[in-house]
Homo-oligomer: A and B are copies of this chain.
Amino acid sequence: MKNKQWILKNFPVGDISEGDLVLEENEVSELLDDQVLIRNIYLSLDPANRGWMSGQKSYVDAMKTGDIMRGGTIGIIEESKNDKFKKGEIVNCMGGWQEYFISDGKGVRQIPQGTGFPLDSYMSVLGMTGLTAYFGLLDVTDPQQGETLVVSAAAGAVGSIVCQIGKIKGCKVVGIAGSDSKCEWLTRELGIDAAINYKTDNLRQRLKEECPDGIDIYFENVGGSITEAVLTRMNINGRISLCGLISVYNSKSLASGPAWGNLLVKRIKLKGFIVFDYFKRYMEAYLDLTKWMKEGKIQYKNHIIPDIENAGLAIKKLFSGENEGKLIIQVSENSTKN
């Protein structure tokens, strides 16, 4: 059986170039004892992927050139020599950019079936994306009723969930996004208070208009000049949840950050976080998120692109902002009941 696999050939410098990731076709090897064969259905494409490609150790081990490109997946067990897994079970794991993944079961978790939620929702609001939004907003910034929350990359996978949790907690929510259609989706569909198109609007002026009482909480996905503009409107004792820095991930050299003067004078608390640190509390988030989903309080948008062959090109959408919602590759057919 053949297995199409994306191999990391070079650590990209700046933008990802042709040749950094190369598609190969290899044989699926025979299963050993305790192993399972997983057919990948969905592959998650995330800003974090760019960091993994850098060859730098971060919160996970560094990737090496020649490795199969790392990625979060949902798949189905096709064959199992491991007592913990049965054929036909749906699982979530780091299955990589490939059609088939052979695993010893470590880090592989079953996904409940028959819940009424579509399978792809477990890649976004009910997956790492939702958990990231949940802990990054609630644990890091402790939002209070009536506070003003600003979210950058607000129409993105994480940002759009953050906006909606902010509304559930009674915040005034102002999103920053990169197109009018994204802004309209945020205000009309998700019901957030205001959305600013940073590409066409005067961001500083609009923040002033939309946040007349200043900004209490900033959920940071972006970095760069957007952050500078937000910092000037932050209130004393404001909080910043540092989730991502998409604008600098493709920088060739270490980009400088915003001046710290406002952090000092305004006594800002800033905290970087990684969702994996909350591993022991995942269930708490999952219960809240499913409840809000059932109540219709959270919507999500998945941007699903078919075929593993498209992964190398598709990931660039994250940096150009072309994706609308969570970016996912449909690797193979979803033959489940979800």
Interfacial residues, chain A to chain B (CB-CB below 8 A): 51, 58-59, 220, 223, 227, 236, 242-245, 248, 254-261, 263-274, 277
Q: Which of A223, A256, A261, A268 has the most CB of B within 10 A?
A: A261
Residue of B236, B244, B259, B277 touching A257 (CB-CB under 8 A): B259
Q: When chains A and B are docked, how far (Å) is the Cα of A264 from the Cα of B248?
A: 12
Q: When chains A and B are docked, how far (Å) is the Cα of A274 from the Cα of B271?
A: 18
Q: When chains A and B are docked, how far (Å) is the Cα of A267 from the Cα of B271?
A: 6
Copies in the complex: 2
Query: Could you tell me if A264 and B272 are in contact, using CB atoms closer than 8 angstroms?
Result: yes
Distance (Å) between the CB of A237 and the closest chain B CB? Answer: 8
Residue of B58, B223, B268, B269 touching A260 (CB-CB under 8 A): B223
Residue of chain B at shortest CB distance from A236: B59
Distance (Å) between the CB of A153 and the closest chain B CB? Answer: 14
Residues of B within 8 A of A242 (CB): 260, 263-264
Residues of B within 8 A of A274 (CB): 264-265, 267
Residues of B within 8 A of A268 (CB): 270-272
Q: When chains A and B are docked, how far (Å) is the Cα of A244 from the Cα of B260?
A: 9
Residue of chain B at shortest CB distance from A228: B254
Residues of B within 8 A of A259 (CB): 248, 254-257
Residue of chain B at shortest CB distance from A270: B270
Residue of chain B at shortest CB distance from A237: B277
